[in-house]
């Protein structure tokens, strides 16, 4: 274990500077090092910390705008209880003790009458708050932790985590030297000769702890780039090869590449022989995906598929950096399996500059695992969605998101009565069929929302609203996202605005009232010390050290570092990377990767395509916003004033649409309005619409709910189209039409 030695607070010309790590409140997956400047007890400026290895001084616009977030006049400042009808917008300020008491009383009352499973605990995107919400749910006795909103098909990161765990026994990421504090100077690291960026725009999205500038640093050092994306991103314009794919056909492209690489004998035969299972079966399967067929499916010219396949296979090392767009197809599991197989058959597995196995951060997740195991087997069987999807039953702890909404509406097999909602904006952001999600949560008897601002979710549903603090106003343990292995501290720089409290403190205080034996700590600092106990260091000691990087090694499969028995190999049933998955086979799924057309597409539903001729893809991140956050922050809204739909210029001209026109986007299932942006950087038969839009400047009470029904692209997406594994939803491949909104 290597520790940084930097001081965490000092003075510069009368200004206090606090070294910290950006996390929840508002936060994203990252954990970037920041310097918080404080004068007269007010936060005045935020800069990137040049001494923090993860981001090396770089910051996004959201962190740079933190002062506008902290001191925004619309910040929630005090606990409030509903003083009128739900959605009416009438609130009464109450003390924290009263708020905790009301919540505990109601939850315990439901627990006694219906059982703890009748309370669900909802979390949004993955951040450092997640483990604490899990502990709150499981220590209460509810098996129903609900992730991502709820999000249909858990179609964000979770499918990749699960598929990789089932087929490789681990989790693999692109190696851009992020595992070493010395970064690119580490003597064991190698620059990837080729990086394939698949369904991902890391410069704007920085997904799951992966930072976009890592790619550009590799490019400076010689990495060649292949981009798979229907949109011409900045990286696509600088790529050696840009594969402009039809949304929803990623599995077909991967299988076509496997076909070329295997048939042209560009594989790493020694690695395949020693470390993979099922290569013969995979070889037979990919013969079903010849070049001509794959080109026709994906809309990518044959010569480009050949060129990309050969470049990737012959580059040593090479890596594939992918985004959640892979998860956002109905049959995402075989797509993920196919892309993983590309790493395996080319030998780019856990080698410097390849796709490497990420180690656990000092085994810091043991506490939460133990908490779930403490739930009785009877209670585990009551997890929402249990018994429907064998893969999820065995490999995924949270409740099944799409089934949650079904169960709330039907009360089958038991009623849901209450919800704890934290770091999520439910129907305004992530869930398909937004009106149905709205109707479901409206049905609940009691809802608590924890947030920084009044959102459509809080306005529509909440009985009690609790004000969360920003990361500048709290202490915390900063655990990395999915792509690195550092641990550090978030350090309080200013007193919280109003009576806001950190998410962790709110959970700790409620947990002590629901199950005090499981929440024995007097304060959050003691709780944080318990979280990092495996590091043999206290929170205060870690704060003084700055950060710690766990030890990282390559080729762990050769060294007995992956299996419980310490033998060489992978932690899978066969001890090898499973190109033919025995886990999938036992779950009743196809053990080999395959491609299936999206539920709606020009191929699967040609009759629908006559009236809805364009492919709608959604969900790409915007500069300045993180999902539905920051719409009220002046500088970030200045960068993104309106919801945007990108259309190819000739396509728009045929429809009588000009740049800047307000248009309707419509599917069979619904419509919304956004502003047209004409760009040659998108396929003529594809449009891209932004997600997460609401308008904090518009009236909050019903029926407006801050204009959430005006530009919410999820109104166009139906419920129920989940993959047969329980993972995946076609967020990026609906058939649609667009037309100009006539001025009233």
The pLDDT tens digits for 428-474 are 988 899 999 999 999 999 999 999 999 999 999 999 999 999 999 99
Cβ proximity of 19 and 545 under 8 Å: no
- Are 667 and 736 in contact by the 8 Å Cβ rule? The answer is yes
Per CATH, is 172-357 categorized as 3.40.640.10? no
Say how far apart CA 45 and CA 67 lie, in whole Å. Answer: 7
Question: Is 145's pLDDT higher than 80?
Answer: yes
Token pair recorded at residue 375: 């739930």
What is the arithmetic mean of pLDDT over 80-101? 98
Give yes or no for a contact between 562 and 684, defined as CB atoms under 8 angstroms apart: no
Q: Is the pLDDT of residue 640 over 90?
A: yes
CB 468 within 8 A of CB 25: yes
Smallest CA-to-CA distance from 547 within 15, 34, 17 is with: 34
The per-residue pLDDT for 374 is: 79
5 pLDDT higher than 90 = no
Tokens 């997904």 — which residue? 207
- Confidence band of 2 (pLDDT split at 50, 70, 90): very low
Q: How far apart are CA 730 and CA 605, in angstroms?
A: 14
Q: Measured at the alpha carbon of residue 361, what is the angle toward residues 320 and 364, in degrees to the nearest 5? A: 135
Token duo for residue 334:
């075989």
pLDDT over threshold 90, residue 78: yes
Mean pLDDT of all residues in the chain?
94
Pairwise CA distance, residues 97 & 448, whole Å: 15
- Tell me: pLDDT of 637 over 90: yes
Q: What is the mean pLDDT of residues 250-272?
A: 99
Share of the chain above pLDDT 70, in %: 97
Alpha-carbon torsion, ordered 677, 681, 687, 688, to 10 deg: -80
Three-state helix/strand/coil letters over 674-691: EEEEECCCECCCEEEECC
Could you tell me which residues are beta bridge partners of residue 318? 194
Say if residue 659 is preceded by a cis peptide, omega within 30 of 0. Answer: no
Q: What is the DSSP annotation of 189-250?
A: ----SEEEEES--HHHH-GGG--HHHHHHHHHTT-EEEEE-SB--HHHHT-SEEE-PPTT-H
Closest CA to 103 of 610, 463, 444, 505: 463
Instruction: List all residues 6 or more positions away from 722 whose beta carbon is below 8 Å from its beta carbon.
Output: 152, 153, 330, 402, 728, 729
Distance between CA atoms of 138 and 119, rounded to whole angstroms?
11
Helix 250-263 × helix 279-286 angle, to 10°: 110
DSSP per-residue codes, 325-350: TTTSSTTHHHHHHHHHHHHHHTT-BS
3-state secondary structure 567-604: CCCCCCCCCCEECCCHHHHHCCCCCCCCCCCCCCCCCC
What pLDDT does 621 receive? 82
Phi/psi at 549 (5° precision):
-110, 130
CA distance 204 to 196: 17
At 374-433, the pLDDT tens digits run 788 999 999 999 999 999 998 888 899 889 999 999 999 999 999 999 999 999 988 899
Span 566-584, mean pLDDT? Answer: 98
Confidence band of 208 (pLDDT split at 50, 70, 90): low
Residues near 655 by Cβ (< 8 Å), separated by ≥ 6? 738, 739, 740
Q: Residue 744 above 70 pLDDT?
A: no
The angle at the Cα of 436, spanning 430 to 442, to the nearest 5 degrees, equals 100
Highest mean pLDDT, choosing among 352-361, 382-391, 622-631: 382-391
Identify whether the C-beta of residue 202 lies closer than 8 Å to the C-beta of residue 321.
yes
Confidence of residue 369 (pLDDT cuts 50, 70, 90): low
Which token pair is 552?
A: 């990282």
pLDDT of residue 559: 96
* 471: nearest Cα among 429, 498, 504: 504
**Average pLDDT value for residue range 265-283:** 99
Q: How far apart are CA 170 and CA 562, in angstroms?
A: 8
* Residues 6 or more apart whose Cβ sits within 8 Å of residue 85: none
Q: What is the DSSP string of 473-498?
A: G--EEEE--TT--EEEEE---SPPST
pLDDT score recorded for residue 514: 97
Q: Give residue 50's pLDDT.
A: 95
Name the phi and psi angles at 662, rounded to 5: -80, 130
- The ranges assigned to domains in the chain are 80-154+362-549, 172-357, 606-740
Q: Per-residue pLDDT tens for 209-243?
A: 788 899 999 999 999 999 999 999 999 999 999 99
Contact between 452 and 76 (Cβ < 8 Å) = yes
User: Kindly report the CA angle at 584 between 578 and 586, in degrees rounded to 5?
Assistant: 115
Please tell me the total number of residues recorded for the chain in this structure: 744
User: Could you read off the pLDDT of 515-530 as tens digits, one per residue?
Assistant: 999 999 999 999 999 8
Provide the CA 297 distance to its chain's centre, in angstroms: 28
**Phi/psi zone of residue 436: left (φ > 0), alpha (ψ -120 to 50 degrees), beta?**
alpha
Indicate the helix (H) or strand (E) that contains 269: helix 269-275
The residue among 77, 78, 24, 110 whose CA lies nearest residue 419 is 110
In CATH, the architecture of 606-740 is Beta Barrel (2.40)
Tokens describing residue 507:
């959970």
| Burial classification of residue 494, based on how many CB atoms lie within 10 Å of its CB (0-12 exposed, 13-18 middle, 19 or more buried) | buried
| CA 197 from centre of chain | 17
3 pLDDT tier (thresholds 50, 70, 90): very low
pTM for the model: 0.95
H-run or E-run covering 145:
strand 145-146
Percent of the residues in the chain that have a pLDDT greater than 90, as a whole number: 83
What pLDDT score does 1 carry?
38
Q: Which residues contact 12 (CB under 8 A, 6 or more apart)?
A: none
Measured over all CA atoms, what is the biggest interatomic distance in the chain, rounded to whole angstroms?
72
Q: Can you say how many angstroms the Cα of residue 706 is from the centroid of all Cα atoms in its chain?
A: 25
634-659 mean pLDDT: 97
pLDDT of amino acid 4: 47
Closest CA to 390 of 725, 727, 729: 725
Which class would CATH give 80-154+362-549? Answer: alpha beta
280-325: pLDDT as tens digits: 999 999 999 999 999 999 999 999 999 999 999 999 999 999 988 9
Residues in contact with 273: Cβ distance below 8 Å, sequence separation at least 6, in sequence order: none
* Strand, helix or coil for residue 260: helix
Please report the pLDDT score of residue 535 as a whole number. 87
Binned at pLDDT 50, 70 and 90, residue 330 comes out as: very high
Strands 486-490 and 476-479: antiparallel
pLDDT of residue 484: 76
- Whose tokens are 């009470």? That residue is 701
Q: How far apart are CA 191 and CA 215, in angstroms?
A: 10
């Amino acid at each position: 274990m290597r520790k940084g030695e930097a001081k965490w607070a000092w003075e510069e010309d009368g200004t206090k500077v606090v070294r910290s790590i950006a996390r929840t409140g508002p936060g994203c997956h990252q954990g970037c090092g920041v310097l918080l400047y404080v004068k007269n007890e007010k936060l005045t400026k935020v800069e990137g910390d040049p001494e923090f290895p993860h981001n090396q001084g770089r910051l996004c616009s959201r962190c740079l705008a933190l002062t506008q977030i902290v001191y925004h006049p619309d910040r929630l400042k005090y606990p409030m209880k509903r003083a009128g009808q739900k959605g009416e917008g009438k609130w009464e300020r109450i003390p924290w003790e009263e708020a905790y008491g009301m919540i505990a009383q109601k939850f315990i009352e439901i627990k006694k009458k219906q059982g703890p499973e009748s309370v669900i605990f909802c979390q949004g995107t993955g951040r450092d708050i997640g483990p604490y919400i899990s502990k709150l749910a499981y220590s209460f006795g509810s098996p129903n932790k609900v992730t991502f909103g709820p999000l249909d098909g858990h179609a964000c990161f979770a499918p990749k985590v699960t598929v990789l765990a089932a087929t490789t026994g681990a989790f693999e990421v692109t190696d851009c030297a992020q595992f070493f504090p010395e970064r690119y100077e580490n003597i064991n690291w190698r620059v990837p000769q080729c990086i394939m960026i698949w369904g991902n725009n890391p410069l704007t999205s920085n997904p799951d702890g992966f930072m976009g500038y890592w790619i550009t640093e590799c490019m400076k050092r010689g990495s060649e780039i292949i981009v798979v994306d229907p949109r011409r991103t900045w990286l696509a314009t600088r790529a050696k090869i840009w594969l402009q794919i039809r949304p929803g056909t990623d599995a077909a492209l991967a299988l076509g590449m496997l076909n070329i690489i295997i048939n042209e004998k560009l594989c790493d035969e020694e690695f395949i022989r020693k470390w993979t299972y099922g290569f013969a079966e995979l070889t037979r399967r990919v013969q079903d995906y010849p070049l001509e067929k794959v080109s026709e499916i994906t809309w990518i010219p044959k010569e480009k598929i050949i060129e990309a396949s050969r470049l990737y296979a012959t580059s040593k090392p090479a890596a594939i950096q992918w985004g959640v767009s892979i998860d956002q197809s109905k049959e995402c599991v075989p797509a993920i399996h196919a892309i993983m197989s590309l790493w395996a058959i080319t030998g780019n597995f856990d080698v410097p500059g390849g796709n490497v196995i990420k180690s656990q951060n000092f085994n810091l997740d043991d506490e939460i695992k133990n908490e779930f195991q403490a739930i009785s087997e009877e209670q585990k069987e009551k997890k929402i969605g249990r018994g429907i999807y064998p893969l999820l039953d065995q490999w995924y702890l949270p409740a099944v998101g799409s089934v949650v909404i079904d169960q709330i509406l039907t009360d089958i097999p038991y009623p849901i009565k209450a919800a704890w909602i934290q770091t999520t904006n439910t129907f305004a952001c992530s869930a398909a069929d937004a009106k149905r999600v709205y109707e479901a949560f409206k049905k609940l008897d009691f809802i608590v929302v924890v947030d920084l601002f009044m959102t459509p979710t809080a306005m529509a549903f909440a009985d009690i609203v609790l004000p969360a603090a920003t990361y500048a106003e709290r202490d915390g343990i900063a655990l990395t996202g999915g792509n690195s292995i550092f641990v550090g501290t978030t350090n309080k720089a200013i007193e919280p605005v109003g009576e806001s409290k950190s998410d962790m403190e709110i959970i700790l205080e409620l947990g002590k009232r629901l199950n005090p034996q499981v929440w024995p700590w007097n304060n959050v600092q003691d709780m944080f010390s318990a979280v990092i106990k495996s590091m043999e260091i206290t929170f205060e000691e870690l704060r003084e050290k700055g950060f710690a990087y766990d030890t990282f090694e390559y080729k762990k499969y050769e060294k007995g570092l992956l299996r419980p028995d310490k033998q060489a190999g992978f932690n899978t049933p066969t001890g090898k990377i499973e190109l033919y998955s025995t886990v999938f086979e036992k779950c009743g799924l196809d053990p080999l990767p395959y491609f299936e057309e999206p539920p709606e597409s020009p191929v699967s539903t040609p009759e629908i395509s006559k009236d809805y001729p364009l492919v709608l893809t959604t969900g790409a991140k915007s500069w300045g916003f993180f999902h539905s956050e920051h719409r009220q922050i002046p500088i970030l809204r200045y960068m993104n004033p309106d919801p945007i739909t990108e259309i190819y210029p000739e396509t728009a001209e045929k429809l009588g649409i000009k740049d800047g026109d307000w248009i309707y986007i419509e599917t069979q299932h619904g419509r919304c309005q956004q502003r047209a942006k004409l760009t040659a950087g998108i396929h003529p038969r594809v449009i891209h619409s932004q997600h997460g839009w609401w308008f904090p400047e518009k009236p909050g009470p019903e029926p407006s709910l801050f204009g959430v029904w005006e530009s919410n692209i999820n109104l166009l997406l139906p419920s129920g189209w989940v993959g047969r594994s329980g993972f995946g939803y076609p967020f990026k491949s609906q058939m649609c039409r667009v037309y100009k909104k006539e001025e009233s």
